[in-house]
């Protein structure tokens, strides 16, 4: 998403770009989608693809500290699938925007 920001000039055309650039150092996925200017595109993609929307509901609440929380193997498999499923996972959708 940071690459998209740099290429699109989204943060450099705004006088407060340094603040927005600092905001990019986060693990808040919803915030990163917003900062990348992909809210509308991602919302439309999720509206047209129930699997992507379902996977997003699993992934969006992940936080940096989540990796230290005890989870079941089933929880780990569900998260992995939501991130990596081809073609409906969150990561493949992000990769298609690089």
Tell me: pLDDT of 5 over 90: no
Q: Is the pLDDT of residue 9 over 70?
A: no
**pLDDT of amino acid 26:** 86
**Highest mean pLDDT pick, 2-6, 51-55, 63-67:** 51-55
In this prediction, residues 58-65 reach a mean pLDDT of: 91
Q: Is 5 exposed, middle or buried (0-12, 13-18, 19+ CB in 10 A)?
A: buried
DSSP 34-53: HHTT-HHHHHHHHHH-HHHH
């Amino acid at each position: 998403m940071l690459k998209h920001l740099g290429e699109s000039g989204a943060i450099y055309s705004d006088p407060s770009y340094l603040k927005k650039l600092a905001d990019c150092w986060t693990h808040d996925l919803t915030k990163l989608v917003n900062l990348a200017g992909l809210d509308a595109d991602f919302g439309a993609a999720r509206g047209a693809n129930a699997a992507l929307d379902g996977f997003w509901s699993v992934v969006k609440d992940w936080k940096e500290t989540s990796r230290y929380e005890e989870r079941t193997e089933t929880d780990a498999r569900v998260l992995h699938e939501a991130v990596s499923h081809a073609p409906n996972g969150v990561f493949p959708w992000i990769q298609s925007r690089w």
